[in-house]
Amino acid sequence: MSTVLYRKYRAQNFDELVGQNHITKILKNAIKSNQLSHAYLFVGSRGTGKTSTARILAKAVNCMSPLKDGNPCNKCDICKSISDGNFLDLIEIDAASNRGIDQIRDLKERIEFSPSQGRFKVYIIDEVHMLTNEAFNALLKTLEEPPEHIIFILATTDSHKLPPTILSRCQRYDFRLGNDEEIRQTLESVAKSEGLKVEKGALNILVKNARGSFRDALSLLDVVFNGQPKEGSKKEITEEEVRQILGIPEIYIVENLITALIKRDGKGALDTIKELESTGINLSQFVSYTLEILREILVAKLSGTKVEYEFTKDIDQKVLISLITAFINVERDLKSTSNQILILQMLIPLFCKEESKQVEEEKKVEKKKEGTIVEKKSESVDVVCSDAGLLNVSDIQNSWKEIVQKIKMQNTALSAFLDASRATEVKGDVLSIEVPFKFYKDQIEDYSSRQIVCNCINEVVGVNCRIICIVNDAVKPKLKSSADVVLQNMPVIEKKREKKKESAKVEFKKTKLSSEVEAIFAGM
C-alpha cells in the first residue's frame, strides 16, 4: 500500500517545517546551547505540525552527529530509527484512548529506566487535554521533577482544558495555522514532486478547504490524486474534477440561493435547495462554501475594494450580516440533525414571504381602495402578508409580555427595549410600536431584530406582520432614583447638625445626559 502524502512529505528537520519559524528558531538555539527543558507543551489547531516538531526535537536531542544549526543529521542510526518509527526511546501516547490514572501510573513506573539507545527518553502525549483529572494529578509530580534522562512533549488542540498546574510546569509553544500562500506553496511543491499538474482553480479550492491546516491540504490532494488514472505519464487535476470528488458546489447554485433570499423569492430559494438535494451535493460543504463567499464579499465592502461577485454588488451591509449570521447558524445546526435539508429550508421564512400572485393582486386592489399602500424606495409596493386581516392590536397588547419573554430567549437587549415600549395600532399588516427613544427605534428596526420580533409575534399570536417604531417622549421611563430624592429623604438627627449642613450645603447640579446615554440606562 502506498504511503499517504502527508506522511510521505512529513518534515524531517526544523527547516522543513512551514510557518512555524517563531518556534523552530527557539528550539534550535536551545539544542545548540544544551538548554533543554524537561517538559514542553505544543498548542495549535490540527495539522499545524505539532507531532512532526515533537519527533524532530526527539531526533535532535538524541542525534549522534547533530548539525551546528541545531538540526538533526537524519543520517545516523538513531535519526533513521526515529524516521522509521522503531526507536525504542521515543514513546508516543494517545491520551484520547489512554486517558486513565492506570495508564499514567504505568508510565511513571517505566520512566525510571534509563534510555536503551539514545541520551533521552522522549514521551510524546498527544491530545493531552483528554486525560482525566485523576490522571492529571498523577502526572503533576512527574512533570515537575522528572529524571534527568526524560523529556515530556505534550500536544493539544484545546489548551484551555488543561489544569493551570500542568500549564505552569511546561514550556509552551503556540503553533499557528498556515496562510493561503503557505498552503499553496506546500501543495505546489508536493504536486511537482509527484509529477502532478494542478489547474489554478483546482488549487484555489484545495487551499480554501484546507483552512490553514497543512495536513488537511495534503489529505485533500491525496483524495484527488488517488482518483487519477494510473496509466500514462500525464497526470492533471482539473477544477471540475476537484469539485466532483470533494462535493464542492458550482458557484451558480450559491448565486441562485443568495439572490433568491435577498429578493425574498421563496419559490426560487426552494427550487435551488431542491436542486442541491437532487444532485447530492454535501450540504455541509455547500454552507461552508457559501460562508466563504459571503466573507469575501464582507471584506471587500469593509475595505472598499471591488466586489468579485456581481450578484451581490449592491447588497445592503445589514442584509449581508444577516445572511452570514443565518448561514453560521445553519452550519452549526447541520452537525446535530439527520434531516439536513430541513435546516437549509428553514432559511426561507427568515428572508422570504410566499404568496400567490392572485392573492397579492387582490390585496393591492383592496389597499388602494383604503389608501394604505406603503411606498418603498427599492420597491413600488410593499405587499401585505396573507393573514393581515387577522392582525388585531388588542391581541398583541394582551400578549406583549409573552412576546417580550420569547424574544428574550434570543436577544436579551432587544427584549429590554421592547419591554419599555408598547404596541399602539395596526394598519393593514403594519404594527406600530411606540418607543421612548430614537436609540430604541434604531435598535428594534435593525433588519435582524425585525426578523426576531416578527417571528415571535407570529409564534405567540399566530399572524404575520411588519413593524415600525414611533418615538414618543411621553412614554419615556422615569429614573428610579436621583440625588434630589436621596437628599430629601435623609433623616434629621440634630437641629445643630442640620444648621451646619445647611450652611455648608452643596447644590448638586443635574447633568444633562445625551439622549442615547439616557436611553441605555433608562429604567435601570
Q: Report the pLDDT value the prediction gives residue 300, as an integer from 0 to 100.
A: 86
pLDDT for 421-476, tens place per residue?
889 988 878 889 998 888 888 889 888 888 899 889 888 888 888 899 998 876 66
Q: How far apart are CA 286 and CA 304, in angstroms?
A: 27
Which uninterrupted H or E stretch holds 523?
none
The SS3 assignment for 23 reads helix
Q: What is the pLDDT of residue 390?
A: 64
Distance in Å from the first CA to the final CA of the chain:
70
Top-level class of domain 385-524: alpha beta
Which percentage of the chain shows pLDDT scores above 70?
A: 81
Burial class (CB in 10 A: 0-12, 13-18, 19+), 164: exposed
Q: How sure is the predictor about 358, in pLDDT bands with cuts at 50, 70 and 90?
A: very low
In the Cβ-directed half-sphere of 283, how many Cα atoms lie within 13 Å? 24
Confidence of residue 55 (pLDDT cuts 50, 70, 90): very high
Please choose, from the candidates 142, 166, 144, the residue with its C-alpha nearest in 3D space to the C-alpha of residue 154. 166
Q: What DSSP string describes 340-400?
A: HHHHHHTHHHHH-----HHHHHHHHHHHHHHT-PPP-SS-S--PPPTTGGG--HHHHHHTH
pLDDT tens readout for residues 270-327: 999 998 888 888 888 899 889 988 988 888 888 888 777 777 777 888 888 889 999 9
- Residue 484 neighbours by CB under 8 Å, 6+ apart: 508
Torsion sign (Cα): 278, 284, 287, 290: negative
More confident residue, 344 or 250: 344
Of 209, 214, 360, 185, whose CA–CA distance to 285 is shortest?
209
Map 45-89 to HEC letters.
CCCCCHHHHHHHHHHHHHCCCCCCCCCCCCCCHHHHHHHHCCCCC
- The CA-based dihedral angle spanning residues 292, 294, 299, 304, taken in that order and rounded to the nearest 10 degrees: 140
Question: 514 vs 412, which has greater pLDDT?
Answer: 412
Going by C-alpha positions, the residue among 503, 516, 390, 521 that lies closest to residue 457 is: 390
> Are 180-246 and 385-524 the same fold in CATH?
no
Q: Which CATH class is domain 180-246?
A: mainly alpha
Rounded CA-CA distance 443/414 in Å is 7
Identify which of 63, 234, 44 has the alpha carbon closest to the alpha carbon of residue 127.
44
Environment class of residue 37 by beta-carbon count within 10 Å: exposed (0-12), middle (13-18) or buried (19+)? middle
Average pLDDT of 136-158?
A: 89
Count the neighbouring beta carbons within 10 Å of the beta carbon of residue 305: 9
Query: What integer pLDDT is reported at residue 384 of this predicted model?
Result: 38
> What does the pLDDT average to over 96-124?
86
Domain range 5-174, CATH class: alpha beta
* Residues pairing with 126 in the sheet: 94
Residue 137 confidence (pLDDT) above 80: yes
The residue ranking higher by pLDDT, 174 or 205, is 174
> Alpha carbon 444 to chain centroid distance?
26
HEC profile of 488-513: HCCCCCCHHHHHHHHHCCCCCCCCCC
DSSP state of 376: -
Side-chain half-sphere CA neighbours of 97 within 13 A: 3
The three cell numbers of residue 199 are 489547474
How are beta strands 430-435 and 422-427 bridged, if at all?
antiparallel
Q: What share of the chain is helix, strand, coil (3-state, %, to 5)?
A: 55, 10, 35
Indicate if the pLDDT at residue 122 is higher than 90: yes
Given this model, what pLDDT does residue 512 score? 54
Beta-carbon-side half-sphere exposure of residue 179 (alpha carbons within 13 Å): 3
Element (H, E) at 152: strand 150-156
- 241-249: average pLDDT: 81
Contact 421, 445 (CB under 8 A): no
Mean pLDDT of 469-497: 55
The grid coordinates listed for 334 are: 447541520
185 in Cβ contact with 152 (< 8 Å): no
Positive or negative torsion for Cα 274, 278, 280, 281: negative
CB 468 within 8 A of CB 432: yes
Mean pLDDT estimate for the chain: 81
pLDDT band at residue 100, thresholds of 50, 70 and 90?
Answer: confident
CB within 8 Å of 519: residues ≥ 6 apart: 436, 437, 438, 439, 440
Please report, for the chain, how many H helices and E strands are present, in that order. 26, 10
d(CA 263, CA 273): 16
How far apart are alpha carbons 188 and 173 in whole angstroms? 28
Contacts of 213 (CB under 8 A, 6+ apart): 45, 46, 47, 48, 177, 178
Position 511 scores a pLDDT of 52
Report domain extents, the chain.
Answer: 5-174, 180-246, 251-351, 385-524
What does the pLDDT read at residue 104? Answer: 84
**Residue 238 clears pLDDT 90, i.e. is over it:** no
**pTM for the model:** 0.61
Which CATH fold topology does 251-351 show?
Zinc Finger, Delta Prime; domain 3 (1.20.272)
CA dist 283 and 304 (Å) reads 31
